[in-house]
Amino acid sequence: MINVFIDGAEGTTGLRLENRLNGMEGVKLLRIEEEKRKDAERRKHFINSADAVFLCLPDEAAREAVTLAGNHVVIIDASTAHRAAPGWAYGFPELSQKHRDAVKASNRITVPGCHASGFNALVYPLVCSGTVSADEVLYCTSLTGYSGGGKPVMAEYEGEDPPRGARPYALGLTHKHLPEMRAVCGLERAPIFMPVLTAVRQGMLVSVPLNAPAEPIHKELADWYRGAEHVRVMPFGGEGSLENGRLNMETLNSADDMEIFVFGNDCQTLLTARLDNLGKGASGAALQCMKLRFSI
C-alpha cells in the first residue's frame, strides 16, 4: 500500500487525479482539511506522510512544495516549474529507455506539458537519429481543447456567451512549454510555435511540418515506438483513422494514449500527434509515472 497526497487537488488536473486514485488497489489517498490546504506546516505534514505526492499547483507554489518535502518522498510535479530542471526525470517513458529508467529510479519526476508531449513525441526520435538537425528551424501548430487553460478559461468557454471558433494565443512566441520542447529535444533554438484554443472541451492535435520524404519518416517513427505502452504510430496517411479525410481531435478523450500520424509525399511531411490534453497531456501522464515508479 502506498500513501498518495495531491497538493492542489481542487484544480483541473488534481480533480481528475483524485477521481482516478479513489479506490485504486494498493493506493491510500491522503486528504488535507479544506481550511488547511494553504497552510504550509499542514501541507508539509501531509507531503512527508506520503510515499508519492502529486503537485497540481502554479509554478511558484510547486517550487515551495518541493522545499517542504524530504528526499524520501517521490514528487510528481504537474506544473511547468521543473520540466527543464537538472536532476528531474522527464515523465515521458516512451521517449526512450533512458527516460523510462529515469522515471523508475527518481524521486523527482516532472510531468510533460500537453503541447510539449505531442511535439517531443514527434521530434525527439528524429533529432536522435539525425533526420532532423538540432539547429533546424522547426514550426509547430497545436489545436487544444479549452480545458488546458484551467479554471478561468473553462469558465469563459462554459459561461453564458462562450467564444466560438478557434483562437490562436501566446502570439509573442514565448509560450511556457517552449523551454521544455527545446531542452528535451536538444534543439539549438526554440520552435516557432502557435497554440490554438478551440471551442471543444478537451482533445489535442499537435502538428510539425518537415521538408523531407514522408514514408521513411513514418518507418522511423514506427520502429522507434514499436511496443510502446501508450504511444501508437498509425498507418501511413492515417489509413483507417480519418473521418471523411479529416482528423477528429476528440477521438482519444478520456484516454491515456497518444496516436502519431505521418502524412505527406516524396518531398514534404506533416507529423501530427493526437492526445487528450487532460489525459496523456496531464493527469494520465502523471498517473503513468506513479505506476511505473512504484511498479503498480
Q: Tell me if residue 114 is catalytic.
A: yes
Question: What DSSP string runs through 64-88?
Answer: HHHHHS-TTSEEEE-SSTTTT-TT-
User: How far is residue 252's CA from residue 249's CA, in Å, rounded to a whole number?
Assistant: 8
User: What type of residue is 148?
Assistant: G
Please compute, for residue 3, the number of CA atoms within 13 A of its CA located in the half-sphere on the CB side: 12
Q: Which one is catalytic: 56, 114, 140, 289?
A: 114
Decide the pairing of beta strands 52-55 and 2-7.
parallel
User: How far is residue 47's CA from residue 29's CA, in Å, rounded to a whole number?
Assistant: 12
CA 154-157-163 angle, 5° bins: 145
24 SS3 class: coil
Which active-site residues does the annotation give?
Answer: 114
